[in-house]
Structure 1
């Protein structure tokens, strides 16, 4: 067994030969099978880190939509294509021989978390925040009131929001929130159409914006200028937006020059830019230009929404009653306390941008409804060995893509440590998609492979090219499936599914 053959080559079964080493490792230590639920940044970064730092691990990524990339595709503003370049990194991960993508699979319905745990050595939940926080005030459900999540999903082609049809027939819109998403929405509402036509914004959204009467957008927040959550890049874009005039009240910034001196550099630069914009006197030419295109946007501080006011017929929004607030404390920890004074702000469109919210996925998974996260310790789900979480469902809907990247790497590191320390028992092999695929077939669910997604991608790019855009997104899941030459999808209980066929990475998954 250990001897060298006469020809001087290592015997194929010798563990010191490349082939022998592979066989020896596979016989002594089955390849860890890892499942990741969610194909947004958190899911892909988790998979990337595991694959990079474990030479045998195999990772399967499940996604409820036919198409991958989560909020990179459906959340990033159409006019920020540079942010979407991270898709190239995710594509490289998905094309790995040890990684497979399965779209069109809803975990918790098409397959349970318990069934995934039986098929894999570890399961990582990275499905993000699929809902929005509610205002919890009277009138919130009036026509003309929308969540920022739904509005962003509408102009970005998220299938569930494709039929939103927001009413843009009013002149004044109010956005509740002072984050980057709020500024994104304001920019989309006020951007020149020629700018938007060159982006991947959906055709139906572009057509609606072409008919929009909105020419004033106010962004209101409970706290003050030192607590805004948007960043300087997004603020600068709004200030420099052609055909629009920023309206900031100089009184809101009185005394802030001294208060901001000791602040961290990003906060200091952001506040200084707001102060400069508030105090800047527009030139005569600019005033004349604004008269020709009277579009405005502005920031309103220390206002907390109390009630959405209805039109006389009680059907639509006509304004919002706001409580004026004062701040207790300073910096990011400052709290807004009502003063008792009220103000009514007239508007015909209200967009609530107060944050996203994660939802429980499966009864078998612990969930903190108060905080909207899965209870965890460094990504390890509390009380459920072998179950992990990363991204927004782990820490809450905060931060940008790089924040999610670092968080996901931390969770992946916990998985790797548990593999190395024997917490995860890999002595018994798991079937991975071999088992899950059988379950899905029995339930009439046909997954979409990554190569099939690439056909959708190519079709979208081709459509976009014809229209002078980077892509024209498909917004209907049935159209996505038909674009690959599949049989006509069946719709069962609102779920798009097809007759079962083969899957990607067939050679390594036993098909």
Structure 2
């Protein structure tokens, strides 16, 4: 007690880190604890960004500087809800910021979705990125045909990672267990399927162009699916779409015949049923036409064979103890949930935008916080001291930022020559490493 505001941020992903950065800039006397259930910080930067997009991961260097501030602590291996409640956090801190994202895949809501070989995007992406809770989520990839449903960048990530060669992935941090499955898979075809037209797809031009650079896989799309032109009042969006359409025209000139592997970009198809006995064997689609901007079934159906189905249709937030969740987000007013409790990022606005989108969003919520609290006022809450006492009483072994740097160094040292790191994918291995380092 006696210092400035005591703040707890639940979640160390981009939204949480930008919130911490904004607080330090506006309220330098505050004390900030950043809590995470994992032993590793930075959320989707580690577990969500595709392993062959290492440049995007460089944003973690800016987060390191925030974590190294003497007013900030990383408190890993502490799970919100199961290890510590919202009520306890409110008793210890003046401000609690919820930055947990939207940790659940949306479902298709069609028959057969419970069959083996059907995965949500988060499950599949966390699996190949080495998230400890998803290490064993995909037992095998003994498959010939895969379908990825969705027309956003995550769908392209999944398709591209499935089709990349071992040489192409040598300079990445793809998890070892995933590489063992992917590089030995007999996979031949991947279909990326969207319910609307090519002009409605949400691919970035950079991601779409990467498909043409794969060593042993050829992208292909039906030229009849590509409109001659696209006009809209939004000039920025119009430019992106027309660049994408030009790329698709190039892919339409490819021949899928004779390639080692083929990637089909399909449009105007909606899944209606997942076929097979215990495991997925095909997906039944209905063909669509667009009426008033909406996809409407023509009544024509099409079955596409597959042994793996990954749905990339968005994320959702389920109920959290002590938090009002409605329509997949925490109910809030400009980021405020209740007195002393705020929400940022996807949990506030839904799963939209890029990593950078969270910066302005978090800054706006911090402005709201500082309009509710006097930054210079001495805190009457126990803050970090109280949290340490609570964890000691509960027997919870937390992970500090110094502990994380121990993991980080070990992962870097374990890596092959070209790879940036070789990840630990079991929490117990990380905690054992930390314990050993503390006794040296």
Paired residue for 1:319, among 282, 294, 311? 282
Name 1:343's counterpart in structure 2.
Answer: 302
CA contact (8 A) 1:144 1:167 kept: no
Name the CA shift for 1:342/1:483 in 2 (closer, same or farther; >3 Å). same
How far apart are 1:414 and its partner, in Å?
1.1
Name the CA shift for 1:280/1:176 in 2 (closer, same or farther; >3 Å). closer
Unaligned stretches of 5+ in structure 1? 1-25, 488-500, 502-511
Query: Given the alignment of the two structures, is residue 412 of structure 1 paired with residue 366 of structure 2, yes or no?
Result: yes
How far apart are 1:50 and its partner, in Å?
0.3
How far apart are 1:426 and its partner, in Å?
4.4
Name 2:26's counterpart in structure 1.
Answer: 53
Q: TM-score, normalised by structure 1?
A: 0.82
| Per-residue Cα deviation, 1:124-156 (whole angstroms, up to 9, x for no partner) | 000111111111111111111111111111110
How far apart are 1:172 and its partner, in Å?
1.6
Alpha-carbon distance between aligned partners in 2 of 1:136 and 1:276, rounded to the nearest angstrom? 32
Name the CA shift for 1:39/1:279 in 2 (closer, same or farther; >3 Å). closer
| Per-residue Cα deviation, 1:316-355 (whole angstroms, up to 9, x for no partner) | 11101112222222xxxx2222222221111121111111
Query: Which protein has greater RCO, CA pairs closer than 8 Å, 6+ apart?
Result: 2
Equivalent residue runs for 1:234-313 within 5 Å: 234-254=207-227, 256-257=228-229, 259-260=230-231, 262-278=233-249, 293-310=259-276
Alpha-carbon distance between aligned partners in 2 of 1:116 and 1:110, rounded to the nearest angstrom? 11
Alpha-carbon distance between aligned partners in 2 of 1:127 and 1:103, rounded to the nearest angstrom? 13
> SS in structure 2 opposite 1:469?
coil
Q: Say what the alpha-carbon RMSD is for the aligned residues.
A: 2.2
Name 2:334's counterpart in structure 1.
Answer: 378
CA contact (8 A) 2:232 2:238 kept: no
Name 2:399's counterpart in structure 1.
Answer: 448
How far apart are 1:418 and its partner, in Å?
1.5
Structure 1 residues 469-478 or 219-228, which shifts more? 219-228
Query: Given the alignment of the two structures, is residue 165 of structure 1 paired with residue 148 of structure 2, yes or no?
Result: no
CA contact (8 A) 2:284 2:301 kept: yes
> SS in structure 2 opposite 1:195?
coil
Unaligned stretches of 5+ in structure 2? none
How far apart are 1:122 and its partner, in Å?
0.6
CA contact (8 A) 1:253 1:275 kept: no
Alpha-carbon distance between aligned partners in 1 of 2:73 and 2:152, rounded to the nearest angstrom? 35
Name 2:123's counterpart in structure 1.
Answer: 150
Name the CA shift for 1:481/1:176 in 2 (closer, same or farther; >3 Å). same
Alpha-carbon distance between aligned partners in 2 of 1:210 and 1:91, rounded to the nearest angstrom? 33
Query: Given the alignment of the two structures, is residue 355 of structure 1 paired with residue 318 of structure 2, yes or no?
Result: no
How far apart are 1:427 and its partner, in Å?
5.2
Name the CA shift for 1:217/1:238 in 2 (closer, same or farther; >3 Å). same
Alpha-carbon distance between aligned partners in 2 of 1:58 and 1:415, rounded to the nearest angstrom? 14
Name 1:497's counterpart in structure 2.
Answer: none
Q: TM-score, normalised by structure 2?
A: 0.94
CA contact (8 A) 2:130 2:423 kept: yes
Alpha-carbon distance between aligned partners in 2 of 1:31 and 1:185, rounded to the nearest angstrom? 45
How far apart are 1:261 and its partner, in Å?
6.2
How far apart are 1:107 and its partner, in Å?
1.3
How far apart are 1:298 and its partner, in Å?
1.8
CA contact (8 A) 1:225 1:271 kept: no
Name 2:427's counterpart in structure 1.
Answer: 477
Alpha-carbon distance between aligned partners in 2 of 1:168 and 1:182, rounded to the nearest angstrom? 17
CA contact (8 A) 1:144 1:166 kept: no
Paired residue for 1:190, among 155, 163, 175? 163
